[in-house]
Amino acid sequence: MKKKQIIYIVIMFAAIVLLAAGYILAKNYNDKKSEEEAAKEEADSKTIDIYDIDTENVVKISIANDSGSFDMVLKDNVWVQEGTDVPMNTENVQEMLDAVADVDAIKVISEDGNNLSEYGLDNPGLSYTITMTDGTQYNIRLGIALSTDVSAHYALLDSDTKVYSVSDNYYDPFDTDVVSMTRIDDEVNINSDYITKVSVNNREGLDFSAKYLGEETSDKYYKWEITKPYKDILADTDTLKAQLDKYTTIEYEKCVDYNCEDMSKYGLDKPYGTVALDYYSVAGVSESEEDSEEASSDTDTEDNSAQATPVPEEMREYYTYTLYVGDKYVDNDTEGYYVNQEGNNNVYTLSADKVNELFGFTTFSMADPCIYSELVDQISGYDIEYKDKKYSVERREEKAEESADDEKKSDDDDGMVNVYYVNGQKVDETEILTLYSAAYLLTLSGEADKSLMTDEKAVLTITYHPNEGEDVVVKYIPYGNENFYSVDKNGMTYFLTDKRGIDDLVSRYESFMEKNNL
């Protein structure tokens, strides 16, 4: 073997040895680094146990933050504000107690506590003290939040020197004020099916009242009557029921003044608006059972064949709920109103959106929009008057002729059919029913302005003769706005209807009468 080849082999062998040695050294270094990192991660993941608190023996919680300071004490097993005995929200207090039952720190930030201002601990934004039955106190002071992905704050835990980082679990429940902590006792939960009367008014001109007719009417749909500002006007049941549902559950936001002595501070001495409900509850029935009955009632409403069973009078317990709405307030980006419930002196807040729901309707929107809504088989006939002419439409039941078409025969076993006469002359059933439907479909367009009403003669008068009850006279009278006629229904002149619909109806009457030589 040549000398040159031997040298090449030696060099290659040396390179391999060096590479192997380098690999071993790198592996050992990486293994050591991984072990160090793992140890560091393990150390970082371990929390530092500060103290455990037996929350069953906590008798006082003192809180100071940017909103102020207040003390809560346990008095006769009830948490109250010290000095006022205002009851505190039990759930919120329990959340605080659960938070401090086991106090751990994430890590030590500074052993000597120098430069506390760097951590916001020279003047803590939040601090609280937990006092035990034996007088032992635990003090926690919290500074600024850490500028990391960890949700934590700098803290001093019973020490003026050692700075820790602690989880926000020890911060969030105590970042509150006495108003937010005050217990709310008067929230509303009423079954809307048990409301018998509603009154709503405000300074903007809304002055509405309605009463439940209940068993006073046999009508399956029209169960409510508007009593103010109208008289004897039926309410649209679906629309009114939807509005009532907005009053049955009211959740106040905060109690800003417990047992207030001066309602004028909140505009409640002269309220902006008032909501009053007369209602009853069912003796011996829980709220959950009432909710179940209400859901069942809603299902029954959808099924026309189902009939609700009235609650016996002896099982009813009657109540009145009245809510007063005072001044509006703006707190940062939040708007609301101060409210007070009849029967106590507590002042609560209610969101502006909720208050707008309570008053956000017009009386007209609650009225039945139909001018006359009786079906043709519920009347014996009707009279029509226009242009100094009068026609009387009469519905009679007569024996069907043998040659009569099957479509005209009654379903009754006696073979009776409806036959229609105008001024004593028999007319085509289909044509006269089409005319009746045209009048039946007429609806109200709005409220009449008394200043625009005229004394002119009605362009059309229809007098209905119901099978039961008194006649109903509906007059359509020229109005100061050429797009409408005012409607006079049995002397009630609250509303308007579209002029085109009435003019078209008169034209159709004229064509029908001319065709039938009447």
pLDDT above 50 for 153:
yes
Residue-level pLDDT at 113: 75
Task: Examine the pLDDT at 295 and tell me if it is beyond 60.
Answer: no
The reported pLDDT for the residue numbered 298 is 47
Q: What is the mean pLDDT of residues 460-467?
A: 96
In this structure, of 24-28, 87-91, 386-390, the range with the lowest mean pLDDT score is: 24-28
The reported pLDDT for the residue numbered 161 is: 84
What's the pLDDT score for residue 290? Answer: 52
- The answer, yes or no, to whether the previous bond of 229 is cis (omega within 30 of 0) is yes
- Per-residue pLDDT tens for 342-353? 999 999 999 999
Residue 410 confidence (pLDDT) above 50: no
Q: Are 371 and 436 in contact (CB under 8 A)?
A: no
Tell me how far apart the alpha carbons of residues 257 and 42 are, in angstroms, rounded to a whole number. 51
Mean pLDDT of 485-505: 96
At 69-100, the pLDDT tens digits run: 999 999 999 999 999 999 999 999 999 999 99
What pLDDT, in 10s, does the model give residues 172-198?
Answer: 999 999 999 999 988 888 999 999 999
The per-residue pLDDT for range 429-456, each reduced to its tens digit, is 999 999 999 999 999 999 999 999 999 9
Task: Give residues with Cβ within 8 angstroms of 132, minimum separation 6.
Answer: 53, 54, 57, 58, 59, 138
**193-245: pLDDT as tens digits:** 999 999 999 999 999 999 999 877 767 788 999 999 998 899 999 999 999 99
Beta strands 102-105 and 48-52 are antiparallel
Residues 6+ apart with CB under 8 A from 56: none
Please determine, for residue 406, whether its predicted confidence score (pLDDT) is greater than 70: no
Q: How far, in Å, CA of 33 to CA of 39, rounded?
A: 10
Q: Which two tokens stand for residue 196?
A: 């018998």
CB of 269 closer than 8 Å to CB of 340: no
What local confidence, expressed as pLDDT, does residue 42 receive?
Answer: 41
The CA distance from 62 to 93, in Å, is 12
DSSP state of 248: H
pLDDT band at 112 (very low <50, low <70, confident <90, very high): confident
Average pLDDT over all residues of the chain: 87
Q: Residue 117 pLDDT more than 70?
A: yes
* pTM summary value: 0.78
Q: Which residues contact 449 (CB under 8 A, 6 or more apart)?
A: 480, 481
- Give the span between the Cα atoms of 44 and 47, in whole angstroms: 8
The secondary structure of residue 341, as a DSSP letter, is: E
DSSP state of 338: E
Q: Tokens representing 257?
A: 């003044």
**Can you tell me whether residue 133 is helix, strand or coil?**
coil
User: What is the per-residue pLDDT for 308?
Assistant: 56
Residue 425: is its pLDDT beyond 70? yes
Q: Which of 335, 337, 328, 202 is nearest to 272 (CA)?
A: 202
Q: Which of 112, 105, 192 is nearest to 154 (CA)?
A: 105
Q: Do 304 and 271 form a contact (C-beta atoms < 8 A)? A: no
Write the Ramachandran bin of 90: left for phi over 0, alpha for psi from -120 to 50, otherwise beta: alpha
Residue 278 has pLDDT above 60, yes or no: yes
